[in-house]
């Protein structure tokens, strides 16, 4: 299906998932304006949100199934599989977050249905970010997402920590947006374009590879994105913000916001700046610094939530390796890793949320002691999440890491690959203590796990995520093919081919 984005009818079709989600957001807003007092109202809003997310996912699927492609001049919106697959990821993350929030909000007495409105608009922002083929649209999406998430971080008005987190996130986020905007301005100054494709063409035809203005603009863009993905040295906000926010929101930030920023960053770098070599060196160093610092600082954490926060910084480092590679293999690895990372991080945060004590800020790793005796299923699920985060074979986390390593070694980044695995060894030093506490240490006190409650829907989320982690760890073929076909637009394919006797996979792309 070819769509001419200069025609408004076609443009509307191209934006169908976003339009559907906007409508859903407005609908939920209407519902909450009318009913916003009791727990029942909260549940109604949540169900409407889920329906909206599902409808948007169906719209994205429709575009993907019809192989929607843009014709004509470069436009504001990109139409490619990368966008649709990333959309599914964001919608999936949002859906899982809603399911986890059901019980959590009621238990924590956060009877604010606006929570779901903000969640929907944040998701919309993510979809715009990854769908934008123009720096302006990317920026719009980023702001829509960020502003919604600032409010989400502070949704618990009774918690001083949440207020601090929201304010800190807002101030630093606004600062980062400033960097990004200034970078866009300089890039525009150098190339007279904000469209990503046109920037790429201008760089090539005008020979701007070494233009100082473009380089500075690119540097500022990287700083802005670096803030959003929490790359070292722009990571300072992340632990405090995750720590103070309600746990499901922290999970949403650690997965959704990060995934959106990474997907947008990859598109910007690969489409607009493929001809500018400088960014690869910068991202290389960012990746190394993020992996090393994230893992080392995480070692020193005693509370589970801060450990997970630093672990998410470390994972940003692994993802930056995929970005630094820059080829279509890098993009496929990025997509696959984001899926695996979202599953394991979301379920880890969901399990932490079940511990349920004032934002879970003071749950020490040792407080999980003896959990395997009291709640064997919860402990088993958390152990699998930890092993997957560690990148242990048999889990999706391993396949994701493996894919990143494949992409890195195939482009000759052997040193980067070695640093990745060495820092992964370090990460055993903070993931294993969680397992150790649950299985090998006694309960810290009698009835230490009495109040632990996951709820039926939260339990379903964890079960589905863990099943997904194990399934994709053993049989990742479909997801790999999807990630691969969605990434064919970026860079030149590496000179590798599959071995001769490949089995017929008629359903591998689903068309």
Partner 1 sequence: MYRQWVLTALLAWPVLAGLGVLLVPARWAKHVAFAASLVEFALSVPLWWTFAPDGGVQFFLDVPWIPTWGIRYTVGLDGISLFMVLLTTFLVPLSVLGSYTYITTRERGFYALLLVLTSGMIGVFVALDLFLFYVMWEVMLIPMYFIIGVWGGERRLYAAIKFFVYTFFGSLLMLVAILALVYAVAQRTGVYSFSYAHLLAHLGGLGPIAFWLFGAFFLAFAIKVPMFPLHTWLPDAHVEAPTAGSVLLAAILLKMGTYGFLRFALPLFPAVALHPAVQQVVVALSLIGIVYGGLVAMVQPDFKKLIAYSSVAHLGFVMLGIWALTLQSVQGALMVMINHGISTGALFFLAGMLYERRHSRLIESFGGIAKVVPLLAALLTIVSLSSIGLPATNGFVGEFLVLLGTFRTYPLAAVIAATGVIIAAMYLLPALQRVIYNPLDQPTNEQLPDLSARELAVLVPLLACIVWIGVYPQPILRRMEPTARHFIQTVRLNAAAFTAAR
Is residue 506 at the binding interface for partner 1, with CB under 8 A as the rule?
Answer: no
Sequential DSSP letters for 260-278: HHHHHHHHIIIIISTT--H
Nearer to partner 1 among residue 275 and residue 394 (C-beta)? 394
Quick one: which segment of 19-27, 125-133, 456-464, 479-487 binds partner 1 (CB under 8 A)?
479-487
Nearer to partner 1 among residue 116 and residue 336 (C-beta)? 336
Sequential DSSP letters for 22-75: HHHHHHHHHHHHH--SSHHHHHHHHHHHHHHHHHHHHHHHHHHHTT-EEESS--
Is residue 510 at the binding interface for partner 1, with CB under 8 A as the rule?
Answer: no
Contact track, partner 1, 407-436, x by CB under 8 A: --xx---x--xx--xx-xx--xx--x---x
Sequential DSSP letters for 187-225: HHHHHS--BHHHHHHHHHHHT-TT-HHHHHHHHHHHHHH
- Residue pair 311/430 in contact (Cβ under 8 Å)? The answer is yes
Nearer to partner 1 among residue 43 and residue 441 (C-beta)? 441
Please tell me whether residue 345 adopts helix, strand or coil conformation. helix
B/e letters for 21-42, b = 16+ CB within 10 Å, e = fewer, are bbebbebbbebbeeeeeeeebb
Taking the complex as a whole, how short is the minimal distance between the CB of residue 360 and partner 1, in angstroms?
25
Quick one: which segment of 89-97, 176-184, 232-240, 400-408 binds partner 1 (CB under 8 A)?
400-408
The C-alpha angle with vertex 181 and arms to 246 and 141, in degrees rounded to 5, equals: 50
Of 175, 182, 402, 471, the residue at the interface with partner 1 (CB under 8 A) is 402
The C-alpha angle with vertex 125 and arms to 121 and 129, in degrees rounded to 5, equals: 170
Residue that the structure tokens 């985060």 belong to? 389
Q: How many CA within 13 A on the CB side of residue 29?
A: 11
Of 40, 446, 492, 496, the residue at the interface with partner 1 (CB under 8 A) is 496
Of 9, 492, 498, 507, the residue at the interface with partner 1 (CB under 8 A) is 498
Is residue 497 at the binding interface for partner 1, with CB under 8 A as the rule?
Answer: yes
Q: What is the 3-state secondary structure (H, E, C) of 298-335?
A: HHCCCEHHHHHHHHHHHHHHHHHHHHHHCCHHHHHHHH
Is residue 47 at the binding interface for partner 1, with CB under 8 A as the rule?
Answer: no
Of 234, 480, 486, 491, the residue at the interface with partner 1 (CB under 8 A) is 480
Taking the complex as a whole, how short is the minimal distance between the CB of residue 210 and partner 1, in angstroms?
31
Quick one: which segment of 113-121, 234-242, 267-275, 404-412 binds partner 1 (CB under 8 A)?
404-412
Nearer to partner 1 among residue 475 and residue 511 (C-beta)? 475
Binders of partner 1 in range 440-459 (CB under 8 A):
440-441
Quick one: which segment of 157-165, 230-238, 350-358, 393-401 binds partner 1 (CB under 8 A)?
393-401
Taking the complex as a whole, how short is the minimal distance between the CB of residue 396 and partner 1, in angstroms?
13
Of 492, 502, 506, 507, the residue at the interface with partner 1 (CB under 8 A) is 502
| Crossing angle between the packed helical segments 328-355 and 304-325, to the nearest 10 degrees | 170
Taking the complex as a whole, how short is the minimal distance between the CB of residue 412 and partner 1, in angstroms?
9
- Residue pair 499/338 in contact (Cβ under 8 Å)? The answer is no
Quick one: which segment of 118-126, 197-205, 315-323, 502-510 binds partner 1 (CB under 8 A)?
502-510
Neighbouring C-beta atoms of residue 3, cutoff 10 Å:
22
Is residue 16 at the binding interface for partner 1, with CB under 8 A as the rule?
Answer: no
Gyration radius of the chain over CA positions: 22
Taking the complex as a whole, how short is the minimal distance between the CB of residue 65 and partner 1, in angstroms?
22
Is residue 2 at the binding interface for partner 1, with CB under 8 A as the rule?
Answer: no
SS3 content of the chain, % helix, strand, coil (to 5): 75, 0, 25
* C-alpha–C-alpha distance, residues 20 and 24, integer Å: 6
# residues contacting partner 1 (CB under 8 A): 39
Of 34, 109, 477, 510, the residue at the interface with partner 1 (CB under 8 A) is 477
Q: Residues interacting with partner 1, by CB under 8 A?
A: 387, 392-394, 398, 402, 405-406, 409-410, 414, 417-418, 421-422, 424-425, 428-429, 432, 436, 439-441, 476-477, 480-481, 484, 495-503, 505
């Amino acid at each position: 299906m070819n769509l001419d984005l200069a025609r408004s009818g076609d443009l509307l079709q191209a934006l169908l998932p976003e339009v559907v989600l906007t409508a859903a957001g407005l609908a939920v807003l209407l519902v909450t304006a009318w009913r916003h007092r009791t727990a029942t109202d909260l549940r109604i809003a949540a169900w409407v949100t889920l329906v909206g997310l599902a409808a948007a996912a169906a719209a994205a699927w429709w575009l993907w199934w019809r192989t929607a492609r843009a014709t004509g001049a470069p436009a504001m919106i990109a139409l490619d599989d990368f966008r649709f697959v990333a959309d599914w990821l964001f919608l999936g993350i949002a859906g899982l977050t809603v399911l986890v929030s059901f019980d959590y909000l009621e238990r924590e007495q956060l009877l604010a249905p606006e929570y779901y409105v903000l969640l929907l608009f944040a998701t919309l922002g993510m979809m715009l970010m990854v769908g934008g083929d123009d720096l302006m649209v990317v920026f719009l999406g980023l702001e829509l997402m960020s502003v919604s998430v600032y409010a989400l971080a502070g949704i618990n008005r009774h918690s001083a920590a949440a207020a601090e987190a929201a304010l800190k996130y807002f101030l630093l986020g606004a600062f980062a947006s400033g960097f990004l905007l200034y970078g866009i301005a300089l890039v525009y100054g150098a190339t007279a374009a904000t469209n990503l494709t046109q920037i790429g063409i201008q760089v090539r035809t005008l020979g701007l590879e070494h233009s100082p203005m473009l380089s500075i603009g690119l540097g500022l863009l990287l700083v802005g994105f670096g803030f959003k993905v929490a790359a070292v040295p722009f990571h300072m906000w992340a632990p405090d913000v995750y720590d103070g926010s309600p746990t499901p929101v922290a999970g949403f930030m650690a997965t959704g916001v990060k995934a959106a920023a990474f997907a947008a960053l990859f598109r910007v770098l690969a489409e607009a700046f493929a001809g500018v070599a400088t960014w690869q060196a910068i991202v290389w160093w960012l990746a190394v610094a993020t992996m090393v610092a994230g893992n080392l600082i995480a070692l020193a954490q005693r509370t589970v939530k801060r450990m997970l926060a630093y672990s998410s910084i470390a994972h940003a480092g692994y993802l930056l390796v995929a970005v630094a590679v820059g080829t279509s293999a890098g993009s496929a690895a990025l997509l696959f890793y984001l899926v695996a990372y979202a599953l394991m991080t979301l379920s880890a945060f969901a399990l932490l949320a079940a511990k349920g004590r004032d934002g879970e800020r003071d749950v020490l790793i040792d407080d999980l002691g003896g959990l395997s005796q009291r709640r064997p299923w919860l402990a088993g699920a958390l152990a699998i999440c930890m092993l997957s985060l560690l990148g242990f074979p048999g889990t999706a986390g391993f396949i994701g890491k493996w894919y990143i390593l494949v992409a890195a070694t195939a482009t000759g980044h052997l040193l980067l690959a070695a640093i990745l695995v060495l820092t992964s060894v370090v990460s055993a030093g903070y993931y294993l203590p969680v397992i150790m506490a649950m299985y090998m240490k006694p309960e810290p006190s009698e009835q230490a796990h009495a109040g632990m409650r996951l709820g039926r829907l939260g339990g379903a989320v964890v079960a589905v995520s863990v099943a997904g982690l194990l399934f994709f760890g053993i049989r990742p073929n479909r997801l790999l093919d999807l990630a691969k076909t969605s990434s064919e637009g970026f860079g030149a394919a590496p000179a590798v081919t599959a071995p001769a006797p490949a089995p017929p996979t008629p359903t591998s792309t689903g068309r």
